[in-house]
Amino acid sequence: MTEYQTLRVTTGDDRVVVELHRPAQRNAINAAMVADLHAVCALIEVEPRILVLTGAGTDFAAGADIAELRGRGRDEALAGINRTVFDRIAALPLPTIAAVEGNALGGGAELAYACDLRVAGACARFGNPEPGLGIMAAAGASYRLTDLVGKSVAKQVILGGRILDSAAALRCGLVADVVADGEALSTASALADRITRQAPLALRLSKAVLDAESAHPLIDDIAQAVLFESTDKSDRMTRFLERKTT
């Protein structure tokens, strides 16, 4: 069994639920948490399952660990310490869901952006205040937030210091749903339940095609060709047709 210093990890047959667990530090992302998240990714890469991320206490993650960041220099920046693990989460084969309560700021916001889907509690807040600390949001916000909400809103957040509350996040499509405080994780779990009823291979290929970086009609056709030959496709369509005739 893997020992995690900063996470509480629950593994099931169809999902892995990860709680960021540094509540006294508002779940600030430090080097130990980065290492733990890499370990979770390795687990899921070997046995693909849905990932659900949440935070202990009142916040999802209020940022990166500033004490650690202050000591980092050029070499650490070029290593992309936080970006690398967030990219790895984004590349996991099956859907990932962030259940966000309270603050998701700085690196915490970038971790949420790396997930495929986000569910927010009513008091959730998203923002990237890094320029106020003399640095930039360099762990994925510049490209992921733009993809999620468009360049104008991304500039408002990153350049203008705008904090998106849950209502604004819902309006701009950053989150799939806003629920009462304390219910983000149960709602994310229900969403995971719905996802697990779909065909795993179809989910994997659909995610890969959606994340492709350019127009990809041929990739779509190839992925569909693989699915058309799967027994899961045949079985599911047979069950559908049999229900229609009864």
Q: Is 130 one of the catalytic residues?
A: yes
Whether the CB-CB separation of 36 and 43 falls below 8 Å is answered with no
Asked if residue 30 lies in contact with residue 22, where contact means CB atoms within 8 angstroms, the answer is yes
Catalytic-labelled residue, pool 3, 68, 130, 242:
130
Query: What span, in angstroms and rounded, lies between the C-alpha atoms of 239 and 246?
Result: 11
> H or E segment at 155?
helix 151-158
210, two tokens: 């959606």
For 246, counting Cβ atoms within 10 Å of its Cβ (0-12 exposed, 13-18 middle, 19+ buried), the class is: exposed
Q: Which residues pair with 20 in a beta bridge?
A: 7, 55
Which residues are within 8 A (CB) of 168 and not within 5 positions of it... i.e. 6 or more apart?
Answer: none
Annotated catalytic residue 229: no
Distances (CA, A) of 222 to 118, 206, 217, 219: 29, 11, 9, 5
Active site residue: 3, 47, 110, 229, which one? 110
Phi-psi region of 215 (alpha: psi -120 to 50; beta: other; left: phi over 0): beta
106: region left, alpha or beta (phi > 0 left; psi from -120 to 50 alpha): left
The residues carrying an active-site annotation are: 110, 130
